[in-house]
Amino acid sequence: MTYARQTDALLRQLTIAPFLDALIAAAPGRVDLETWSVIVEQAARFAQGVVDPLDATLDAVGARLAGGRVVTAPGHRAAWAQFAGDGWLTLALPEEAGGQGLPLLLTTACEELFNRASAAFTMLATPNRTAAAMIAGAADAATCETWVPKLASGEWTATICISEPDAGSDVGRIRTRAQRDADGTWRVTGEKCWISYGDHDLGARIGHCMLARTSDAPGARGLSLFLVPNVGDDGASNGVHVRRIEEKLGLHGSPTCVMGFEHAAATLIGAPDRGLQTLFHMMLLMRLSCAPQGVGVAEAALSTALGYARERRQGGDPAAPPVAITAHADVQRQLLRMAGRVEVTRGIALAAATVMDLVECAPPEDRAGWSALAQFLLPIAKDMSARLAFDVSSEALQVLGGAGYTREWPVERRLRDARVFAVFEGTSGIQALDLVHRRLWRDRGEGLHRFIAAARADCDDGAEAVVLAAVLDRLEAVAAILSGWPAEPREAEAGATAFLELCGLAVGGWIALRLVRFGGDDDVGRRLAAAARFMLAELPARAEAEASLALLGAARLDGFADYFAD
């Protein structure tokens, strides 16, 4: 199916995105909805015409190791060159760094389209643009002048290089070490794993944005950030080696590499022993990028399911021709639930992007508040989008029945690709713990309270608003109880994932209310409202269940040692 329905929905949601008025006030020259419309439509044409036809090849052929280097699938290099050449990497890059200076809000909309076409292809774009932004803001002038234009043009590429065999989310256990030679050159030695596009043949040079230990200070305090190129200025090897390409369930076109670094020359980015803080902004941008990734893949699965259901004929009066399965109540439920989740999660992604923009461009006295709201919304946007992609792909397969389980249809590919979304950039459990430990306890719920205030401002006495208000009341009550449990963290941790889901339901309900209220009265607006009303109809029951689970406590875990005893 074409990308027209998705493009229409994206453009409408861009015009009614939460906090858009604040963004216009803070940066009026950066918001031009007419220009945005043209850019989004161009992104849809590129995604559908260039990237989408490539995805099946990326999945079937994947990437291979030859002569110590990764070789990508046929057509991948040409598509990347066209993608980069058309300027898609520079949308949100500051103008002073050679970018277009457009908001993250617009980039998020375009990334959704590219991810619908191929999540594996688009995974290279995110570290490229986020590394360029990080280097532009934190590196010395010479490094900026060398690397930022090359990353922006796509001639060179970048990775985020953190994980090690014994150090995943627990970055304080990183053992890769950087030492300074007598001539002042930093040298890095160690092993890194799970590195997306750790090596490939799509660009002439790869810069690894890497955390390495520079002191014996415990935990993350001894880590510094380095830029480690795979080859030197002369094109000779820099002691960077591909150990292997991981054999994965999905995303075959995106080579996930285990990398070795042997006395590799490196450039320090930022201050020594402040690596995690320097890398933090890039990490936040990459976490935000997970949101349009999940929504894009979910949209692809929904589109396939809808097209199939309209054509597939089964059931009805035995004396009459069979009817399209869209006539059956349970299929309607499945399709409406998929559509509702896609639309509200799309709105959450756009809201999070707008708030991230405001962190950078709002008046200085307001930025701390926007930052607190961003920190609250990001784990919700990331986790909801990740699970959305897998759940919608799974439900789409259910709509297709046995056909969906075959490779004749792309749904099984979406399902395989999407499973890892809830794992990388922090698992669902990590996002949930972040929400409780940092956002609720450390920050005293400031971001949560700011969200609730914004949501209540959209509530009136209409039926949909009454539903949302009740869910907000329940969320506040649960948060108040959990806020009193920091002395007994296990009690709250046992319900953290349910609390994350409850927060997601409340934010999704707010977006649904806005879609009903502001979506418009034309065909696009009526579609958005129909999907939103379905979500609001189920919202109270789902919120009640998650609220109960969030407060159930740790007693239900008492049997763990007995069941799993050796």
**Active centre residues (catalytic):** 425
Q: From CA 43, how far away is CA 325, in angstroms rounded?
A: 33
Cross-strand bridge partners of residue 240: 261
Query: Angle at Cα 489 formed by Cα 486 and Cα 493, nearest 5°?
Result: 125
Phi/psi region, residue 273 (left: phi>0; alpha: psi -120 to 50; beta: rest), is left
Q: From CA 417, how far away is CA 166, in angstroms rounded?
A: 25
Q: From CA 535, how far away is CA 506, in angstroms rounded?
A: 11
Q: From CA 170, how far away is CA 291, in angstroms rounded?
A: 23
And the tokens for 375? 């920190």
Query: Angle at Cα 192 formed by Cα 493 and Cα 264, nearest 5°?
Result: 145
Extended strands (E) in 368-471: none
CB count in 10 Å sphere of residue 204: 12
Q: DSSP class of residue 486?
A: T
Q: From CA 484, how far away is CA 481, in angstroms rounded?
A: 5
On whether the CB atoms of residues 532 and 513 are closer than 8 A, the answer is yes
Q: From CA 377, how far away is CA 371, in angstroms rounded?
A: 10
Helix (H, G, I), strand (E, B) or coil at 518: helix
On whether the CB atoms of residues 455 and 468 are closer than 8 A, the answer is yes
> CA of 476: how far to CAs of 212, 400, 417, 435, 456, in Å?
41, 40, 36, 14, 12
Q: From CA 302, how far away is CA 280, in angstroms rounded?
A: 34
